[in-house]
Amino acid sequence: MTSQAADSESQDIELIPQDRRPRHVAVIMDGNGRWAQQRELPRIEGHLKGVESVRQTIEACREFGIQVLTLYCLSSENWKRPAHELDFLMTLLRRYLIAERETLIENNLRLRIIGRRDRLPDDVQAEMDRTIMACSSNTGMTLCLAINYGGRAELVDAVSKIASAVASGKISPQEVSEELISQHLYTEGIPDPDLLIRTSGEMRISNFLLWQISYAEIWVTPTLWPEFGKKDFADAICDYASRNRRFGGLK
């Protein structure tokens, strides 16, 4: 991107009032493998290149005043992939948590991780806890990583907790509400996404934040994740700001 293009992009964003920008952006980062295959590289090279897109997207969120960024890092269905690729992804995740820890602290970012942790290696879980703790006093944007995450599994876990509370008499069936369910999701305390971005052109939700994206605006780009940059993110924000969000009503 030229400096002139970057300046134009920033000016476009500056024209959008803060209340027209999304508070929470969720991203399905798709296309790492295809990016590598197109270049006759191992799939793991796509994952390595995708880390740079993660950095650019976080920086764009900070610059554009986004409060929460949720990245779909590993789905519960991804365990079907070859063992060597999964081992590499776990190693890459561990390295990222260690390497980016000081950067997260310096940039006042909070870290949250959602998903079922039981299948993750112990050393990865340990680094997750260390990084979350290191960022616990930060007050800026929340970076939420969905790891071994599935939207249906999240709902099952929420229903199970609520059912246990009903069975023990802590709450009555009549008290079960949308608000109560939201309070038992992995994302409890985080506003629902306003904007869902999916790269690589696939027109699927892929079991991601099924409850939370009920009224999210969806923006799909054919760009593969390793090529996704700040300009792409800015395009998504500008498109979001141009939409008329009615939430079932009339304006």
Structure tokens at 178: 């949308």
Nearest to 41 by CA among 50, 53, 28: 50
Q: Which of 7, 12, 19, 30 is catalytic?
A: 30
78 is catalytic: yes
Give the span between the Cα atoms of 66 and 147, in whole angstroms: 21
Q: Which of 7, 19, 32, 78 is catalytic?
A: 78
Nearest to 140 by CA among 111, 119, 114: 111
30 is catalytic: yes
Separation in Å, CA 233 to CA 8, 66, 107, 186, 195: 14, 11, 19, 25, 11
For every residue of 34-80, DSSP letters joined together read HHHHHTT--HHHHHHHHHHHHHHHHHHHHHHT-SEEEEEEEEGGGGG
What is the number of alpha carbons within 13 Å of residue 162 lying toward its C-beta? 20
Helix (H, G, I), strand (E, B) or coil at 232: helix
Give the span between the Cα atoms of 121 and 199, in whole angstroms: 28
Separation in Å, CA 77 to CA 147, 162, 208: 11, 25, 11
Catalogue the active-site residues: 30, 78
